[in-house]
Amino acid sequence: MQNTKKTINAKNIIVLVLLILASAIILAPFLFMLISSFKPGRELMRYGINLNIDLNIMSFDNYGLLVTDRDGAYMHWYKNSLIITTMHTVLALFLTSMVGYGLAVYNFKGRNLIFLTVLAVMMVPIEILILPLYRLTVFMNIINTYWGVVLPFVVSPFAVFFFRQYAVGLPKEFIDAGRIDGCGEFGIYFRIMMPLMTPAFGAMAILQAMTSWNSFVWPLIVLRTTENFTLTIGLSSLITPYGNNYDLLIAGSVMSVIPLIVLFLLNQKAFISGLTIGGVKG
């Protein structure tokens, strides 16, 4: 008896050590970036990225440059990212929750066809559509605008699927009660059912915000001028073989990750349930 207890303890310690090692590898890039962000760009060019700390050359200068350099282009990108992420998240939640609810609650002709279409669209890489979508945004006159970035992908099939799975599990008695009280169908949705879906909204809000904040391929195609870039596009435009922008690049990267890390540390459960609720069912 004592013997088995001892082996379990030893096993636990080994597992713990391995997990700590793995965590160190996983977290290392964050530490490297943070340290490099305080060094002049030429250091990065000459020595690459490393953990050497030399207080003589380290300073907050790079962070100051983010505000002043290139007439504050970086601040523009930050602002654009904030606006696009907010627009995308609010619109996506409003629209996809309605669709998901509609698919879950009503029986109507074509419902199964629409649901299958949602699933099918989830399985097609949107990257193959970038050319015709580009021409479409030119035609719709929303190229190089916030709307051009947001509109084509705001009704995310994944979010529709997520809300549909969530709404299927809602108690239908509330709907009947609402009808008896004379509520219209939209009144029932907005006043009674939507509040019941709050946990789903929380989880999806975070996931949609994260997707939008980090999205790259589509904004790269829609946004044509520097002052309209988002953070991802702006930062990628700083990468050159000559290394002349390294001062901005690392500090700018660090600042761009911080909002999501704060959001994650405050609300880890929502991140994780957004990925899993109703997501994986063979």
Partner 1 sequence: MRNTQLTYKKRTHGIIPYLFVSPFIISFLVFFLYPTISTIVMSFQRILGPGDVSFIGLRNYQNLLNPLFFTALKNTTIYTFWTILVLVPLPIILAVILNDKTTIGKNVFRSIFFMPALTSVIVAGIFFRYAFGEQETTFINAILGNLGVKPIVWLQQKSTGMFALVVLCTWRWLGVNIIYFLSGLQNIPAELYESADIDGANAINKFINITLPGLRPVIIYVITISVYGGYAMFAESYTYWGTSNPGGIGLTLVQYIYQTGFNQNDMGFASAIGITLLLIVMIVNVIQLSFFGYFRKEED
Restricted to residues 90-119, the positions that interact with partner 1 (CB under 8 A) are 95-96, 98-99, 101-103, 106-108, 111, 114, 117-118
Q: Does 226 bind partner 1 (CB under 8 A)?
A: no
Q: Does 253 bind partner 1 (CB under 8 A)?
A: yes
Q: Does 49 bind partner 1 (CB under 8 A)?
A: yes
Residues near 269 by Cβ (< 8 Å), separated by ≥ 6? none
- Candidates 203, 250, 251, 270: give the one binding partner 1 (CB under 8 A): 250
Which letter, b or e, does each residue of 233-255 get, where b requires 16 or more Cβ atoms within 10 Å of its Cβ?
bbbeebeeeeeebbbbbbbbbbb
DSSP letter assigned to residue 55? T
Q: Does 57 bind partner 1 (CB under 8 A)?
A: no
Q: Which residue type, as a one-letter code, is found at position 251? A: A
C-beta of 56 vs 107, nearer to partner 1: 107
Question: What gap in Å lies between CA 90 and CA 92, rounded to an integer?
Answer: 6
- Candidates 6, 10, 30, 57: give the one binding partner 1 (CB under 8 A): 30
Q: How many helices (H) and strands (E) does the chain have?
A: 15, 0
Angle between helices 157-168 and 61-105 (to 10 degrees): 50
Task: Please choose, out of 57-65, 71-79, 197-205, 266-274, the segment that lies near partner 1 by the rule CB under 8 A.
Answer: 266-274
Task: Please choose, out of 71-79, 141-149, 196-204, 264-272, the segment that lies near partner 1 by the rule CB under 8 A.
Answer: 264-272
- Candidates 135, 171, 191, 224: give the one binding partner 1 (CB under 8 A): 135
Site for partner 1 in 66-85 (CB under 8 A): none
